Amino acid sequence: MAQELTVAMPKGRIFQDAAKLLRQAGIQLPADFENSRKLIISAENCSMKFILAKPVDVPTYVEYGGADIGIAGKDVLMEAESDVYEVLDLGISACHLAVAGLPDAAKRSSAYKVATKYPKTAARYFREQGEQVEVITLNGSIELAPLIGLADCIVDIVSTGRTLKENGLVEKEKISDITSRLIVNPVSYRLKKADIDQLIGKLTEVVKENLNGMDQKSGVEVLK
Ligand code: PRP
């Protein structure tokens, strides 16, 4: 690649899946990529540099040009509403966003309280349902809120469903499916179009291969 690309990677639950995808696309990452404490790491066979950021900050790095490209969960993107191009569904780290609460939770009223780390998304969802609720923003362990009476329900990510189950909560409504996406800074896309398109092309192939692999394993036929 002629020009160096800076890629913002989300530390945490998406990281392993994202690193695997990059390796599948032929990008040689150092052997300790997943375990290093370094925050800036270069690829070994191409002109790419990776910055390791908190997932919620990835859209910010890309929007402001700190990175040309980023990998971010759709949940984070829906909340951030950043001025970035979302160019590819990477199909990794699948989960969904849902409303959950205690099985016998009260019916919704105007005093209904919703705890979440996605305040904008939650407010938008209930507004679209024509319901007025009070949104309480927390930064983690959201499931605690209905257990200790801070909120009537939560809006949060459900992956395996284990956190809900182990805390005696149930899913009430699914809001949307979530996967990780490739995002691009609009100015970078103009200035480094050939290199970025080449990367998008490689990753698109990998995503297709992975999807085919999944179909064969499950025996499910997917419309292409
Ligand atoms: C996320 C999410 C749920 C949990 C869901 O939290 O907020 O709490 O994972 O996963 P599960 O369905 O597989 O149990 P995370 O682990 O990111 O930590 P947090 O509570 O600090 O947000």
Question: 146-196: per-residue pLDDT in tens?
Answer: 999 999 999 999 999 999 999 999 999 999 999 999 999 999 999 999 999
Specify the residue with its C-alpha closest to ligand 1, atom 19: 140
The pairing of beta strand 48-53 with beta strand 153-158: unpaired
**What pLDDT score was predicted for residue 216?**
67
Specify the residue with its C-alpha closest to ligand 1, atom 18: 140
85, with CB counted inside 10 A (0-12, 13-18, 19+), is middle
Sign of CA dihedral 175, 179, 184, 185: positive
Q: 147, 163, 178: which to mutate for ligand 1, most atoms within 8 A of CB?
A: 163
Q: The domain 5-93+179-218 is classified under which CATH number: 3.40.190.10, 3.40.605.10, 3.40.960.10, 3.30.300.30?
A: 3.40.190.10
Q: Record the pTM.
A: 0.91
User: CA-CA distance, 35 to 67, in Å (whole number)?
Assistant: 21
pLDDT beneath 50, residues of the chain:
219-224
Question: Which atom, in ligand 1's list, is nearest to the CA of 143?
Answer: 8
Specify the residue with its C-alpha closest to ligand 1, atom 10: 159
User: CA-CA distance, 26 to 65, in Å (whole number)?
Assistant: 25
Q: Which residues, other chains included, contact 158 with Cβ-Cβ below 8 Å and sequence gap of 6+? A: 95, 96, 97, 98, 100, 164, 171
**What pLDDT score was predicted for residue 171?**
97
Please name which of 179, 183, 181, 180 lies closest in space to residue 69, comparing C-alpha atoms. 183
Q: 75, 157, 162, 177: which to mutate for ligand 1, most atoms within 8 A of CB?
A: 157
**What pLDDT score was predicted for residue 109?**
67
Q: Which residues, other chains included, contact 118 with Cβ-Cβ below 8 Å and sequence gap of 6+? A: 75, 78, 79, 97, 155, 156
**What pLDDT score was predicted for residue 104?**
85
**What pLDDT score was predicted for residue 146?**
97
CA of 109 to the centre of ligand 1 (A): 27
Tell me the one-letter amino acid at 32: D
CA of 133 to the centre of ligand 1 (A): 23
Residue 140 near ligand 1, beta carbon < 6 Å: yes
CA of 174 to the centre of ligand 1 (A): 16
Question: Which atom, in ligand 1's list, is nearest to the CA of 158?
Answer: 12
Residue 41 φ then ψ, to 5°: -135, 135
**What pLDDT score was predicted for residue 219?**
47
Residue 109 φ then ψ, to 5°: -140, 180
Residue 94 near ligand 1, beta carbon < 6 Å: no
CATH number for the segment(s) 95-177: 3.40.190.10
5-93+179-218 shares its CATH topology with 95-177: yes
Question: Which atom, in ligand 1's list, is nearest to the CA of 159?
Answer: 12
Task: Give the start-to-end residue ranges of the domains of the chain.
Answer: 5-93+179-218, 95-177
User: CA-CA distance, 114 to 154, in Å (whole number)?
Assistant: 5
